[in-house]
Amino acid sequence: MTSPSDADSERTRLVTLAMRVIERAGENITRAALAKEARMPRARIDAIFDSEDALFDAILEKWYAPDIAIMEEVVASDLPIRRKFYEFFARRFARQRARFRKDPAAFAVYCEVGTDNFENVSGYIDLADHYLAELIAQAQEEGHFAGLGINRALSLINQMVVCYTLPQMLMILVEDKLEEDKLATIIDTLFDGLSGEARGAAPVAGLRIA
């Protein structure tokens, strides 16, 4: 019999192996391919990952675990709210950039696999939104982002910091244009400028451009 902790470590070992194969092959891995790589019977793999989705979810879990730890730590911290916002984005950005710099080709593969399996990834995006909504609620209690519903503020903030959250940006943009001190300026801009009040940018109905 395999003890629970042996099963855990075998699962962890297989996920690590699967990620190495993904990075090498440049595409997602099936349970059949994993069995072959691990030189294990397919039935054993299937007992650990009861579907292709379960294997992919285990890979995602490992990929996102440090990000979740960052978000939980920042939300629970007693930093001032602006500092929380900055750390919430900056730490995950720094981690993402380190991964990208370490192996740009492997990073590109994960972006592609993630895009192809968006259903599986979306739970993690929802979780990040959940934590950000907590921070927004706290900021609103302190008088920021006036006149905006939480979901509206969430969408606007996500759009304004997307360069520092969306992994693809490290590949689309010139990576060295993304800098922590720009992110800090963007966070300060949000805190001092974001509200629900219309202040002149939007067109006034009935007026047309000269």
User: Site residues (CB under 8 A) for a second copy?
Assistant: 73-74, 77-80, 82-83, 85-87, 115, 155-156, 159-160, 162-163, 166, 168-169, 172-173, 177-178, 180-182, 184-203, 209-210
**CB 66 to a second copy: min, Å:** 15
Comparing CB distances to a second copy, the nearer of 13 and 182 is 182
Residue 150: CB minimum distance to a second copy, A: 15
User: Shortest Cβ distance from residue 25 to a second copy (Å)?
Assistant: 22
Given the complex with a second copy, which of 52 and 129 has the nearer CB atom? 129
Minimum distance from CB of 74 to a second copy (Å)?
7
Residue (40 or 75) nearer to a second copy, CB: 75
Q: How far is the CB of 146 from a second copy (least distance, A)?
A: 12
State the SS3 of the chain: CCCHHHHHHHHHHHHHHHHHHHHHHCCCCCHHHHHHHHCCCHHHHHHHCCCHHHHHHHHHHHHHHHHHHHHHHHHHCCCCHHHHHHHHHHHHHHHHHHHHHHCHHHHHHHHHHHHHCHHHHHHHHHHHHHHHHHHHHHHHHCCCCCCCCHHHHHHHHHHHCHHHCCCCHHHHCCHHHCCHHHHHHHHHHHHHHCCCCCCCCCCCCCCCCC
Q: Which is nearer to a second copy, 16 or 185 (CB)?
A: 185
> Considering beta carbons, is residue 59 or 87 the nearer one to a second copy?
87
Amino acid at 203: P
